[in-house]
Chain A
Amino acid sequence: MMTEPARTGLSAPLMIVAWAWVALPLAYGVYELLLKLAQLFGG
């Protein structure tokens, strides 16, 4: 059985770019949603 090896330094920048790629649009969507949500509690 092959097990998980130790990480190399190369994967860290790729990891940041990859997660930012998906997290930033999602954060935009959640922000827009929270603006709408304020209407429910703000009247």
Chain B
Amino acid sequence: MPEDGQISPFPSPGGFLSRARTVAPPTWSRWLVPPAALSVHLSIGQAYAWSVFKSPLESSLHLSGTASALPFQLGIVMLGLSAAFGGPMVERRGPRWAMFVSMICFSAGFLLSALGVATGQYWLVVVGYGFVGGIGLGIGYISPVSTLMKWFPDRPGMATGIAIMGFGGGALIASPWSTQMLDAFGTGTGGIATTFLVHGVVYAIFMSLGVFLVRVPPAGWLPRGWTPAKAATRALITTANVSARNAIRTPQFWCLWIVLCFNVTAGIGILEKASPMIQDFFENTAAPVSAGAAAGFVALLSLANMAGRLVWSSISDLIGRKNMYRVYLGVGALLYLTIALAGDSRNFVFILCAVGILSFYGGGFSTAPAYLRDLFGTYQVGAIHGRLLTAWSLAGVLGPLIVNAIADSQAEAGKTGPALYTTSLYIMIALLVVGFVANELIRPVHPRFHEPRVAEQGRQDAVITGPGGS
């Protein structure tokens, strides 16, 4: 079975894309792997800048707001599904194959979208960007995770933090770049099609760095002066390995699933509604927040989200993953409580707390792979991570749903200002407390789920040197 790392029923790709061809030579520096990962994550992070295309598509193809959001929504659904179901294949075929598939799908998504807009066939945009491109998002998101942790067993949090920071940074690049391109080519169908075409070509070139540069360490490779036994001094860090199939049978996986789901729900609730939220909050004060200042607030949250992915995940290497999530969930709940209690009395309190919450939101994403590696080993951590990301799919619906539905009902009841959001804030606190308890319940994985060491090493060697290699 693929999940157990046995010989695949599918032939491994041969030649340049094969896992065997990606084994690093002895002189290869592991610091070449993070830019390979970043080239993929900075590209696929473009998904969060889809809103740039919404208004031009709506006016040129006469679409509703709901219709223009479809490519993005389908893309996020496909991200979750392809990460969850494609994980074992990514583990088996290696990071170069995965990055290549991601590059082809993500780029083809833009090219199909260009064709769709040019011919007035919007369904082609939905299928192209959402379905085909979405597969590129999911495969690309998990493609470097296990490779990075094999290269950086001494600093797994920092390594995955760098890559997953790229996913946050991708929108920072794409948003102004896409806007400038639409300004240059125009916002009619011809301009949008040309913009999509250029995106497809440029992202293919940019992601190719990852395809060419990524390498897996040779079997048995370790950083100089580092031993697994030295790292396994914390209770939760294992030197054993658990397969993806067995991982989802453990309570640890589902506790971590709840932790990630509720941490993301709490963050995305603010992120998705940041601009109207800060304006509503202070509309009845002597210093209301303008639309321009609200855009600055959104930018600040993006920066906090991106920085949190690198900083908090790196700190987790020092203080341990469980303690780090105690901070995300416990301090996150206190920050929400502070916003609820402070109301509209001080805008800097609101801003500082939101920045903290969004940095924890980003940190929660980037620390998760290292937490999985601590619990389940590096054997199939990419595939396990893919399955954990289904928590993101649910949170992506749950967070905005809670905040928007409550704000709408409060507005209908005639309420204004902080009262629109107070109930949502207390719900978020409750979710974070549940996540905190779930984190406390995480214990080392029972040895009955561990892979037999001899068989496991044999299977890994078979994958590395097996058929399909050059």
Contact = CB atoms under 8 A, between A and B. Distances in A.
Interface of A: 1-5, 7-8, 10-11, 14-15, 18-19, 21-22, 25-26, 28-30, 32-34, 36-41, 43
Nearest to B179: A32
Classify the interface of chain A: helix, strand, loop or mixed. Answer: helix
Nearest to B36: A18
Interface string B22-57: 000011111110011011001000000000000000
Contact of B169 (A2, A19, A26): A26
B172 A30 contact: yes
A39 B296 contact: yes
Contacts of A21: 35, 39, 206, 209
B42 A33 contact: no
B29 A3 contact: no
Contacts, number: 103
B222 interface: yes
A18 B175 CA distance: 23
Contact of A3 (B28, B35, B223): B223
12 contacts: A2-B26, A2-B218, A4-B221, A14-B32, A25-B42, A26-B173, A29-B169, A36-B296, A37-B299, A37-B303, A39-B293, A40-B297
B448 interface: no
B38 A39 contact: no
A29 B176 contact: yes
B396 to A, nearest CB: 22
Interface in B264-299: 290, 292-293, 295-299
B300 interface: yes
B215 to A, nearest CB: 11
A10 to B, nearest CB: 7
A42 to B, nearest CB: 8
Nearest to A36: B299
B222 A4 contact: yes
Contacts of A25: 42, 173, 206
Classify the interface of chain B: helix, strand, loop or mixed. Answer: helix
A33 B223 CA distance: 37
Contacts of B26: 2, 5
B230 interface: no
Nearest to B296: A40
B9 interface: no
Given A5-B26, A29-B169, 19 more contacts: A1-B221, A2-B222, A3-B221, A4-B222, A4-B224, A14-B32, A15-B29, A18-B32, A19-B35, A22-B38, A22-B42, A26-B38, A32-B175, A33-B302, A38-B296, A39-B293, A40-B293, A40-B295, A43-B292
A40 B294 CA distance: 7
A40 B213 CA distance: 40
Interface in B173-187: 173-177
Contact of B172 (A5, A18, A22, A26): A26
A39 B221 CA distance: 49
A41 B292 CA distance: 10
B32 A40 contact: no
A15 B218 contact: no
Nearest to A28: B173
A36 B291 CA distance: 11
Most buried by B among A8, A26, A28: A26
B299 A4 contact: no
B303 A43 contact: no
Nearest to B165: A26
Most buried by B among A11, A18, A19, A21: A18
Nearest to B49: A29
A33 B173 CA distance: 9
